[in-house]
Amino acid sequence: MTENGTKLTEIERDALAEIANMGVSRAANSLRQMVGEQVLLSVPTVQIVTRQEASKLVERDNLKRLVAVQQSFEGPFGGRALLIFPEAQSLELVRSIVGDEHSLDDVIDLEQEALAETGNIILNGCLATIANMLHRTMRMSLPSIVRGDGAALFQSAGSAEQFVLFLYIDFNIKKRDVRGFIALLMDLPSIAALKEIVNDYVNNIQRQSPSHVG
């Protein structure tokens, strides 16, 4: 990575984590509405990595069978958003959302659609939050399910999307803990635009409370 600003400063990282947490808590609200129980989503860390690094990160614990909900987006910045789980955890997530009363067979039947919708909710939540902050709209595609290892998830038809805004995400639904990742694949201008947005956000906060200057 060159020093042309793909690295996040500490303040930028904190700010992005805050924005992401706002996004997932919005998604959590939607999920709670569906599940009828408390749903907690949190994003503990944020970083910008290359696609290769990202594919390694998602194969944590040597779990190479991954499933992802993918949506592309356009707007002030564009790219692809991925919500990624190890395959076994995806089923666990669906089970926790559709409820224990379903048999394993039913859960398998529902997995694809339920996962797509859940991913859709979470990714929309994040993207919508950013769009809201910008008072702009973004066009987002419908979700699709992708399966494969890290390299398969992060491969790209073009070479434009070089960078990945990589977020860990923790789900706590019905006392079950599920860990996954959110990855926003973006090209360099998009990253720059994102950083600009983040900096505006930071400046905005600093203007509102000057004592907070770090």
Partner 1 sequence: MLVKTADFVIGPVFDAVDIGLVLLDNQQCIVGWNEWIARVSRLSAEDVLGKNLCDVFTDLRSGRLPDVIDDAFQVGSSSILTHALNALLPLQGEGGERLLHNIVVRPVVSVSAKYCLLQITDVTTAVSRERLLRERQNARYYAIVDSAPDAIITLDDSRKIQWVNGSVDDVLGYGHSELLGQKIDILLEPENALLPILAKTSVHREMPTAVSVVGRYRNGNTGHFEVSIGHWRADRRDFVTTIWRDVTERVTADAALREARDALQKINEELESRVEERTRESEVALRQLHESQKMESIGQLTGGVAHDFNNLLAVVLGSLGLLKKAIPRDPRVSRLLDRAIQGAERGATLTTRLLAFARRQELKVEYVALQKLIPEMLDFLRHSVGPNIAIHTEISPDVCAIEVDANQLELALINLAVNARDAMPEGGSLTIACRNEVDGRAVGLAQGPFVCITVTDTGEGMNEGTLARAQEPFFTTKGVGKGTGLGLSMVQGFTAQSGGATRLRSELGKGTTVTLWLRRAREDLDMPTADAESPELVKARHLRVLLVDDDILVSMGAADMLLDLGHSVTEAQSGSHALKFLESDSAFDVVVTDYAMPGMNGFELAQRIKERNSKLPIILATGYAELPAERSIEFERLSKPYTAKDLAAALEKAVNS
Binding to partner 1 by residue 38, rule CB under 8 A? no
**CA-to-CA distance for 39 and 145, rounded, in angstroms?**
23
- As measured in angstroms, the least distance from the Cβ of 179 to partner 1 is 11
- As measured in angstroms, the least distance from the Cβ of 124 to partner 1 is 5
Binding to partner 1 by residue 84, rule CB under 8 A? no
Binding to partner 1 by residue 147, rule CB under 8 A? no
Structure token digits, residue 130: 């950013």
Binding to partner 1 by residue 95, rule CB under 8 A? yes
Residues in the chain: 214
Listed residue (18, 8, 10) closest to 130, CA to CA: 18
**CA-to-CA distance for 150 and 146, rounded, in angstroms?**
11
Residue that has been written with the tokens 């958003």 in this structure:
81
Q: Which of residues 156-195 bind partner 1 (CB under 8 A)?
A: none
Nearer to partner 1, 76 or 148 (CB): 76
Residue that has been written with the tokens 């790209």 in this structure:
156
- As measured in angstroms, the least distance from the Cβ of 81 to partner 1 is 11
What Rg, from alpha-carbon coordinates, does the chain have?
A: 17
Binding to partner 1 by residue 113, rule CB under 8 A? yes
- As measured in angstroms, the least distance from the Cβ of 94 to partner 1 is 8
Nearer to partner 1, 5 or 75 (CB): 75
Stretch that binds partner 1, among 40-48, 50-58, 104-112, 203-211 (CB under 8 A): 104-112
Beta bridge partners of 84: 68, 181
For residue 109, what are the contacts with CB-CB under 8 A and spacing of at least 6?
A: none
Stretch that binds partner 1, among 9-17, 40-48, 88-96, 157-165 (CB under 8 A): 88-96
- H or E element: which one contains 70? strand 66-74
List Cα–Cα distances, 73 to 4, 19, 43, in angstroms: 24, 17, 21
Among positions 118, 163, 195, 201, the unique one binding partner 1 when judged by CB under 8 A: 118
Beta bridge partners of 82: 70, 183
Residue numbers of the site for partner 1 (CB under 8 A)? 30, 33-34, 71, 75, 88-89, 91-92, 95, 97-98, 104-105, 107, 109-110, 113-114, 116-118, 120-121, 124, 127-128, 131-132, 137-143
